[in-house]
Structure 1
Amino acid sequence: MKLTEGTEIDDFLFLTKNGNCESFRSQLKRNFTAVIFLRHLGCGMSQLDMLKYRDAYKFLKEQGIEILMVIQGTEAAVAERTAKLGIPFTVIADPEQELYGHFNIPSSESMRQLVYGVSEDKLLEFDYYGIECQRFEGNELQLQATIVVDRKGQVVLSHYSENISDVPSPSELYQMLQAVPVRS
């Protein structure tokens, strides 16, 4: 079942980069928590989204928005890459795609559909960030999703991507959340 506005997200456990097991619900300390499902560490678009959220993280936190990302890859690879990139938020390694499956994050039907309608603006940002696409990891046809929940775990925003570049930017996410009332 896809997560839609008004539904409650299930709790789940994950390993942090220092090896601790955490409950998702224990992370819901801000007005909103965005769980952004990306593709894999070798994907240029996923790298770009991760870096853009890194650069906007301080601003988003000040606005009451926490960021968590889920990405295919082993815990060791994710910990190494996020440390190298200076990623300040939690990135959950999901090498077996258990969370993708649990939350019904679909895969594209084909490589052609995955790249159809890709944002040329996002492709131009690869140079700015020095991004190079790398080897495939996991499910190469995996699509992304952005799910935002409030402090109680209720979904307030649900965006399932149509193609490889269809992830809201930090500023787009902030703008979308301006219309959502804050519940305590």
Structure 2
Amino acid sequence: MTDFSYTTIDGTYKSFRAQLNNDYTVILFLRHYGCGMSQLDMLKYRDAYQFLQRKGVDVFMVIQEPTETIAEKAAKANIPFPIISDPEQILYQLFEIPSSESVRKLVAGVSEEKLNEMIDYGIDCYQVEGNELQLQATVAFNRSGQVVYSHYAENISDVPSPTELVERLEASLA
């Protein structure tokens, strides 16, 4: 893994490699907070935080919003893990996370189950912050910085749930 430095939403500057302290460290690259699916994934991972910690999984999220914008939203949502603001999409480029070719492809095959979960959570979509066609990705590292799992989304609902993620990480050991 190529190390990179980032600034957390509280303004702390850190090296990512120095954060690899658990069995797994996962980076979830989401889109922007105005995207209902990104909000849903953020809340699902928030709700599974204790489960993930028991399984030896640390979570980081990268989102396109500027630090000032996402800090307030993350505080209101009680997000317990670090969120990296990347409005210039430097990390999206470093990890070669593509954008969709069109809005049509971005939403093609969207999970009806996740749409219903958005309704259950009371999530609304609103203002776009950044690249509206940006796809998501999930990349997991072990303590040595080796990628042990990666998933690049095909549409806006294609992010593994916390349970699916743990299952895939455990399968990587087999």
TM over 0.5: yes
1:83 alignment partner AA = A
Q: Percent identity?
A: 59
Cα shift at 1:85: 0.2
Alignment of 1:174 with 2:166, yes or no, is yes
Cα shift at 1:39: 0.3
Q: Hey, what does 1:144 align to over in structure 2? A: 136
Rounded to whole Å, the distance in 1 between the matches of 2:73 and 2:3 is 26
Alignment of 1:122 with 2:114, yes or no, is yes
Q: Say which SS state the counterpart of residue 180 (structure 1) adopts.
A: helix
Kindly provide the CA deviation profile for residues 20-58 of structure 1, in whole angstroms up to 9, marking residues without a partner as x. Answer: 101101110000011010000100000000000000011
| Contact residue 9 and residue 85 of structure 2 kept, 8 A | no
1:80 alignment partner AA = E
Kindly provide the CA deviation profile for residues 87-133 of structure 1, in whole angstroms up to 9, marking residues without a partner as x. Answer: 00001000110110111100000000000000000000112111000
Q: Say which SS state the counterpart of residue 148 (structure 1) adopts.
A: strand
Q: Hey, what does 2:74 align to over in structure 1? A: 82
Alignment of 1:16 with 2:12, yes or no, is no
Rounded to whole Å, the distance in 1 between the matches of 2:130 and 2:14 is 24
Rounded to whole Å, the distance in 2 between the matches of 1:163 and 1:132 is 18
Match for 2:61 among 64, 69, 72? 69
Q: Which runs of 4+ in 1 moved over 3 A?
A: none
Cα shift at 1:19: 1.1
Rounded to whole Å, the distance in 2 between the matches of 1:16 and 1:100 is 16
Rounded to whole Å, the distance in 1 between the matches of 2:134 and 2:3 is 22
Rounded to whole Å, the distance in 2 between the matches of 1:43 and 1:125 is 14
| Contact residue 28 and residue 62 of structure 2 kept, 8 A | yes
Q: Say which SS state the counterpart of residue 104 (structure 2) adopts.
A: helix
Rounded to whole Å, the distance in 2 between the matches of 1:10 and 1:75 is 23
Q: Say which SS state the counterpart of residue 176 (structure 1) adopts.
A: helix
Q: How does 1:96-135 map to 2 (within 5 A)?
A: 96-135=88-127
Cα shift at 1:181: 2.4
Cα shift at 1:180: 2.2
User: Unaligned stretches of 5+ in structure 2?
Assistant: none
Q: Say which SS state the counterpart of residue 30 (structure 2) adopts.
A: strand
Alignment of 1:36 with 2:24, yes or no, is no
Rounded to whole Å, the distance in 2 between the matches of 1:152 and 1:82 is 29
Rounded to whole Å, the distance in 2 between the matches of 1:108 and 1:17 is 27
- TM-score norm. by structure 1 comes to 0.92
1:168 alignment partner AA = P
Kindly provide the CA deviation profile for residues 117-151 of structure 1, in whole angstroms up to 9, marking residues without a partner as x. Answer: 00000000112111000111110000000000000
